[in-house]
Chains A and B, each alone.
Chain A
Amino acid sequence: MKAKVGQLLRARTGPMTSELVLHPGDFGLGRVPARLAPFATAKSVCGFCSTGCGLKIHLNARGEAINLTADPDHPVNLGMACPKGWEALTPLAASDRATKPLLRDQSTGRLHPVPWEKALASFVKNFQGIQARHGKPAVAILSTGQIVTEEMALLGALGKFGMGVLHFDSNTRQCMATAHVAYKQSFGFDAPPFTYADFEQSDVLVFIGANPCIAHPIMWQRVMMNRRSPTLIVVDPRKTETAMLATQHVALRPKSDLTLLYGLARLLIELGAVKEDYVSAHTTGFAEFRQFVSAFSLERTANESGVAAEDLVRCATSIARGQRVSFWWTMGVNQSHEATRTAQAIINLALMTGSVGRPGTGANSITGQCNAMGSRLFGNATSLLGGYDFACAADRDHVAGILGIAPALIPAEQGWAYDEIIDGIDRGDIRGLWIIATNTAHSWINHGRFAELRRKLDFLVVQEMYVSTETARMADLVLPAAGWGEKDGVFINSERRIGVTRKVARAPGAALSDFAIFQLVAEAWGCGGLFRAWRSPEAVFQILKALSRGQPCDFSGVANYAQLEACGGIQWPFPETNSADRGPEQPERRLFADGVFFTPTGRAAFLFDEPRPMPEPPDADYPLILMTGRGSSAQWHTGTRTDKSAILRKLAPTSLYVEINPADASRLGVTDNARVEVRSRRGSLAANAYVTAVVQPGQIFLPMHFPEVNRLTFPSFDPHSRQPSYKACAVSVSPLAE
């Protein structure tokens, strides 16, 4: 009775209280919301960035995903995930999912739903028509780093061997092309040498153009797990979250990194930090390099980089004294007009100090997209499937033999890079374009031009999860694709770990996995016969294994998806031949412990070039340097997925802001949070000023996730990797009337 009166006066229980009751989750989980208690769990690798975190997907009795947690048993993330990973399922339920193929009606100019067979017929009729009129290379493909490796391989094979497409590139050009070329030239193969344990085992970690706190939070977790009291050096023009936590922040001038790295090399030589034994046994070109960097005196380096001489010396001394020094770079390096040489300048520092192949060392490229490495190895764009060379007849024969196709189907010619395809559209050489899982109209540099070029395309096909992306809205034909979580396959992460991602949700409507769409296109195109063995993602995985055999990326020792899942992914190389002694139970492995590289000589190469000034330096009309980059950990690229999660949207800025230094702000009469116009020679945008000393005077920063940002960027490209230089162009800022 007393309890009843108590409950009547003060309701401690009831339906609303029950909503928040937690139950033990079982399956190795802690407590979970009672109404979301899992019936079972599945393991899957996250589909956002290249960290490759293991997620435990909670399933209901029907096998549908209802929630997820980070997988505590996964060797990458050890039970942690970033906000995007936690919210990975939410974007699947968005209301703007593409659920039916959409074809643009020429009379009304609008996109209309059509059945798949009509969509395929239109695809074939238009693209084959273009090829008939203008030659086969007039149809080009822009692919992605966001789909599974099996899909990339099928697309690559279908495009190049089945459809006769020559010009085929992917959005990994925007993130990883530089690392790819730099490694290939220096090490003989695109082979990031590290394993994530190196974060924990370093004494000195040098981050160059990288902000892992925001861009790769789970990698930063591994840095924080380092118990060796490491020296953290961050080379970045901005005082980023990562720079705040660093021991030394080397706040260089934008695009002075190459000079700075050469200056550091000379300082290291002067400090006697060169491991002569290592250099003479395992490298080529050091003598020339030593001669070359002698021109980069401390004074010159300090002058050109804007970093005080004593800070440079302190940095070099830390590197020289470190027993285990590791170098890590990301987009600040990769996206530059001299990116490849900059990446190689980092590789040179690692080589000359013998910081390769040992725990806690390496010249390590942190990748962007979840499957950038899958794309690099099996996308069939720049390299022939499996990291082979299109130009090499023996390679073509070998690959054709494994695939059971005529070698003549494999083109010997190298196709165009992304920017060359764009130029090709402008010239009228490219008339048909098939875009898969990327948002060119938002993300391509100086994208104002792309909208214009759209009119020059006779037929644009966009294969997408969402009908609302800037690019899908321009399409003649939209092919509705299943997303991450709605299909099976493998991703290859930054540390070369092959991990399985699983189908745990149904795709909406008539959306199909990219794999199924490529199968349909092959049949409709009339080349289905080439791909009879490519029945399913897992069947293709076996083909990929065969392709990798004998290559540096050999993973022929991997049995199947089940083994990958049980091991939390397996890093290549994992060849059949020695899988007994290098068992999958070994959770971490790094490359080049023996000092033997993948070049013909087995030696790594010192590669270098004279630094060049930035292509569009600031001047009187456009006095500020615009840098772009990741703005928050809750936003992924163009936001097509992360914007669909209400909780992630809450963690991101509601509208575009621009970071501007207090000195510039007061000179320009700009107050905090005031509306300003940012103008470059290519366009302008309006943003709210965020007045902060995080950026240096003379520099501003815009987060790349907003569509208007790439209206401003200057289209310059690294000559080796053709990667766009997103992080340096000249702009002006002026206050806007309220």
Chain B
Amino acid sequence: MVADRQPLLLALVDELLAEQGRLQTPVARFATAFRCAPVYHDLVPLSKPGPGEQYAFEVDLDSCSGCKTCVVACHALNGLEDNESWRAVGLIHGSLGPSAFQQTVTSSCHHCADPACLNGCPVLAYEKDPVTGIVRHLDDQCIGCQYCVLQCPYDVPKYSERLGIVRKCDMCQQRLADGEAPACVQACPTQAISIVKVSVTRNGATPPRCDTSTFLAAAPDPSYTQPTTRYISKKPLAAGLMAADAATVRTQSAHWPLVMMLTFMPMAVGVFTVTSVPAFSPGQPTTPDPTIVAWFGGLLGLASAFLHLGQPWRAWRIFLGWRRSWLSREAMVFGLWAGFATVTTMGSVGILPVEASLPVLRLATAVTGLIGLYCSVMIYVDTPREFWRWSQTGPRFAGTALVLGLAPVAPGAAACVLAAKLAWEFASFGGPAVPAQLMRGPLRRAATLRFFLGLAGGAILVSAPGWFGFFVTMGGEMAERYLFFRAVDAPKMPGGVRG
């Protein structure tokens, strides 16, 4: 019985499909008359900040009900990528006397009085607006080194693979300039977010300060960057509140090019330094010459660091941040080192006629290398991450330099230093700290590999001195550097229940 109606049905299918595909022309049916835009004046200040003031977000916790509209409105009204938003909503919970307590918390860039992102940027891709205090990211200046991601204790700048740069909240400065409220402010159904003016003390040489007493208790320590966001509430916030994701341990990105660079460069610096000490000058020439290995490895490391950048062709500006950024300093010093190391190596193999100056060149290479290595250490020490403090980063980087520097010329000594380093590293595996949890948990296999390669490298160095033991040891150091990046405990604003 269907067959009889087939022609009719076919025509109807075609007609309905055509109808389905037809949209009304906007002008014909939909166009809405122009009306005054809603700008929510009452949620932004009427005047620009005066001297000693800046704009800040104010979050009324008593109004924040956890709908998360701010996050999506930021995404939609700023035309961000599919999963990109410059706001996030977390949850803190605990007990207030006998009753349970939970509070959702919306957060964005805190437009800090003393922004770590800005201070660490090697190319000055951040600027703090002198009038509004908005910490603005210059997207066309950014080289995509992601150092600001490591620097910010609130996990604000986010890297975009598509663009090869980071992006972050600019407090909708284009809207504010017009008296229109930022996207999150205008979209909040309960008007929990507003823009206020806060005082910032700038006192010559000391870093700028603002009142952080209204900053969120369960967030990372505000003394570091002086975040300006005010979290206000009429009810007392319970003591001992925890982020809902407090027990979620997260591994961080490996940053493979940096793992490479931070293994090869200490090796190169170590070899050049050790061989510049007359006592360790190789008695008989080994093949290949350690200098060549170090030079080649060092350049490979630097190239690798270059490739880590999302926008490598903008990297020539990297000197701009030298006043404040250890990354800028490291790049400049290692640039110089590359020159010294190249001339020294070319001289030592006789390509360049600099034989007379070789000891001086070796010394210059060693000294610039050590300064560069110090800068490398400081890059990580300068972040708010516990696992990267001096006492952790210094011995790791210096230890790698020493072990791999000694290995070609004094394998026994190298094995001893390596044994000490392994024992010291092993101690960091215990305890409740997040890096230890990660290395015992999700990073267990990498940690096992690190010790296997370390022990094997040491054993080979002692039993059969030569390049094989050297490279196995270097593999172990590389695994240690991998753990250094992946197991770090990165501070952030409280997150939600992750499941």
Query: Measuring CB to CB, which residues of chain A are less than 8 angstroms from any residue of chain B?
Result: 9-17, 19-22, 24-33, 35-36, 39-43, 56, 59, 61-64, 67-70, 72-73, 77, 79-83, 86-87, 115-117, 120-121, 124-125, 213-214, 217-218, 220-221, 224, 239, 241-242, 244-245, 249, 482, 486, 502-507, 510-513, 516, 519-520, 523-524, 526, 632-634, 646-651, 653-657, 671-673, 687-688, 690-694, 738
- CB-defined contacts of B9 to chain A, threshold 8 Å: 117, 120, 520, 523-524
Q: Which of B78-92 contact A (CB under 8 A)?
A: 78-79, 82-85, 89
Contact A512 B83 (CB under 8 A): no
Closest to B70 in A: A83
Q: Is the interface of B mostly helix, strand, loop or mixed?
A: loop
Contact B67 A17 (CB under 8 A): no
Stretch at the interface among B94-102, B282-290, B332-340, B482-490: B94-102
Interface centre among B19, B30, B62 (most CB of A within 10 A): B30
B383 CB–A CB distance under 8 Å: no
- CB-defined contacts of A16 to chain B, threshold 8 Å: 139-140, 142, 163, 165
- CB-defined contacts of B63 to chain A, threshold 8 Å: 224
Contact A36 B497 (CB under 8 A): no
B16 CB–A CB distance under 8 Å: yes
Q: Which of B217-272 contact A (CB under 8 A)?
A: 244, 246-248
B192 to chain A, nearest CB (A): 9
- CB-defined contacts of B138 to chain A, threshold 8 Å: 10-12, 17
Contact B19 A516 (CB under 8 A): yes
Interface centre among A35, A506, A632, A673 (most CB of B within 10 A): A673
Contact A239 B498 (CB under 8 A): no
Query: Measuring CB to CB, which residues of chain B are less than 8 angstroms from any residue of chain A?
Result: 1-3, 5-6, 8-10, 12-13, 16-17, 19-21, 23-27, 29-39, 62-63, 65-69, 71-73, 75-79, 82-85, 89, 93-95, 99-104, 124, 138-142, 163, 165, 167, 170, 172, 174-175, 178, 180, 186-191, 244, 246-248, 314, 317, 320, 441, 496-499
Query: What are some 22 contacts across the A-B interface (CB < 8 A)?
Result: A10-B138, A20-B139, A22-B174, A72-B38, A80-B69, A81-B69, A82-B69, A83-B72, A86-B72, A117-B13, A121-B2, A213-B65, A214-B65, A217-B189, A220-B189, A239-B99, A244-B101, A245-B65, A524-B5, A632-B496, A672-B247, A691-B247
Contact B26 A511 (CB under 8 A): no
- CB-defined contacts of A651 to chain B, threshold 8 Å: 68, 71-72, 89, 496
Contact B317 A692 (CB under 8 A): no
Closest to B100 in A: A693
- CB-defined contacts of B247 to chain A, threshold 8 Å: 671-673, 691
Known A40-B31, A82-B69, A503-B24; contact A693-B101, beta-carbon cutoff 8 A: yes
Q: Report the Cα distance A28→B104, complex, angstroms.
A: 32
- CB-defined contacts of A79 to chain B, threshold 8 Å: 38, 186
Neighbour of B174 across the interface among A31, A35, A657, CB < 8 A: A31
B390 to chain A, nearest CB (A): 31
- CB-defined contacts of B142 to chain A, threshold 8 Å: 16
- CB-defined contacts of B499 to chain A, threshold 8 Å: 653-657, 687-688, 690
Of all A-B residue pairs in the complex, the 7 with the closest CB atoms, nearest first, are A33-B79, A14-B140, A40-B26, A653-B499, A693-B100, A217-B67, A221-B189
Known A30-B180, A693-B93, A693-B95; contact A62-B23, beta-carbon cutoff 8 A: yes
B17 to chain A, nearest CB (A): 6
Q: Report the Cα distance A17→B496, complex, angstroms.
A: 31
Known A242-B65, A653-B498; contact A512-B187, beta-carbon cutoff 8 A: no
- CB-defined contacts of B82 to chain A, threshold 8 Å: 646-647
Closest to A73 in B: B35
Q: Report the Cα distance A21→B188, complex, angstroms.
A: 22
Contact B12 A520 (CB under 8 A): yes
Contact B10 A647 (CB under 8 A): no
Contact B25 A63 (CB under 8 A): yes
Q: Report the Cα distance A61→B84, complex, angstroms.
A: 26
A222 to chain B, nearest CB (A): 9
Neighbour of B100 across the interface among A655, A671, A692, CB < 8 A: A692
A363 to chain B, nearest CB (A): 24
- CB-defined contacts of A62 to chain B, threshold 8 Å: 23
B493 to chain A, nearest CB (A): 14
Q: Report the Cα distance A67→B75, complex, angstroms.
A: 11
Closest to B37 in A: A30
Contact A523 B163 (CB under 8 A): no
- CB-defined contacts of B39 to chain A, threshold 8 Å: 30
Q: Report the Cα distance A121→B3, complex, angstroms.
A: 8
Contact A9 B320 (CB under 8 A): yes
Neighbour of A82 across the interface among B12, B17, B67, B178, CB < 8 A: B67
Interface centre among A31, A43, A218, A691 (most CB of B within 10 A): A31
Contact B30 A40 (CB under 8 A): yes
Contact A516 B20 (CB under 8 A): yes
B120 to chain A, nearest CB (A): 16
Neighbour of A633 across the interface among B31, B67, B190, CB < 8 A: B67
Q: Report the Cα distance A523→B4, complex, angstroms.
A: 11
Q: Report the Cα distance A659→B207, complex, angstroms.
A: 44
- CB-defined contacts of B27 to chain A, threshold 8 Å: 40
Contact B68 A633 (CB under 8 A): yes
- CB-defined contacts of A694 to chain B, threshold 8 Å: 93, 100, 102
Interface centre among B2, B5, B441 (most CB of A within 10 A): B2
Closest to A71 in B: B32
Known A63-B23, A523-B8, A692-B100; contact A83-B246, beta-carbon cutoff 8 A: no
A226 to chain B, nearest CB (A): 11
- CB-defined contacts of A505 to chain B, threshold 8 Å: 23
Interface centre among A43, A80, A214, A648 (most CB of B within 10 A): A80
A150 to chain B, nearest CB (A): 14
Q: Report the Cα distance A570→B254, complex, angstroms.
A: 57
Closest to A691 in B: B247
Contact B20 A513 (CB under 8 A): yes
Contact A24 B67 (CB under 8 A): no
Contact A31 B20 (CB under 8 A): no
- CB-defined contacts of B186 to chain A, threshold 8 Å: 30, 79
Contact A693 B103 (CB under 8 A): no
Neighbour of A87 across the interface among B30, B72, B99, CB < 8 A: B72
Contact A524 B2 (CB under 8 A): yes
Neighbour of A512 across the interface among B20, B77, B191, CB < 8 A: B20
Q: Report the Cα distance A28→B35, complex, angstroms.
A: 4
Q: Report the Cα distance A656→B497, complex, angstroms.
A: 10
B188 to chain A, nearest CB (A): 8
- CB-defined contacts of B19 to chain A, threshold 8 Å: 516
Contact B13 A24 (CB under 8 A): no
Contact A634 B32 (CB under 8 A): no
- CB-defined contacts of B77 to chain A, threshold 8 Å: 30-33, 69
Contact B26 A42 (CB under 8 A): yes
Q: Report the Cα distance A274→B481, complex, angstroms.
A: 75
Contact A124 B34 (CB under 8 A): no
Known A40-B27, A692-B100; contact A241-B66, beta-carbon cutoff 8 A: yes
A234 to chain B, nearest CB (A): 12
Known A239-B99, A526-B5; contact A512-B320, beta-carbon cutoff 8 A: no
Q: Report the Cα distance A43→B31, complex, angstroms.
A: 9
Contact A36 B79 (CB under 8 A): yes
Closest to A38 in B: B26
Contact B38 A220 (CB under 8 A): no
Contact B76 A117 (CB under 8 A): no
B314 to chain A, nearest CB (A): 8
Neighbour of B30 across the interface among A14, A17, A42, CB < 8 A: A42
Contact B83 A27 (CB under 8 A): no
Instruction: Known A-B contacts: A31-B175, A41-B30, A68-B76. Give 17 more (CB < 8 A).
Output: A10-B317, A17-B140, A19-B139, A20-B79, A20-B139, A21-B174, A22-B174, A31-B172, A41-B31, A67-B79, A124-B2, A241-B102, A506-B23, A633-B66, A656-B499, A657-B498, A673-B248
- CB-defined contacts of B62 to chain A, threshold 8 Å: 245
Contact B34 A26 (CB under 8 A): yes
Known A12-B140, A67-B76, A217-B189; contact A650-B69, beta-carbon cutoff 8 A: no
Closest to B174 in A: A22
- CB-defined contacts of B101 to chain A, threshold 8 Å: 239, 244, 693
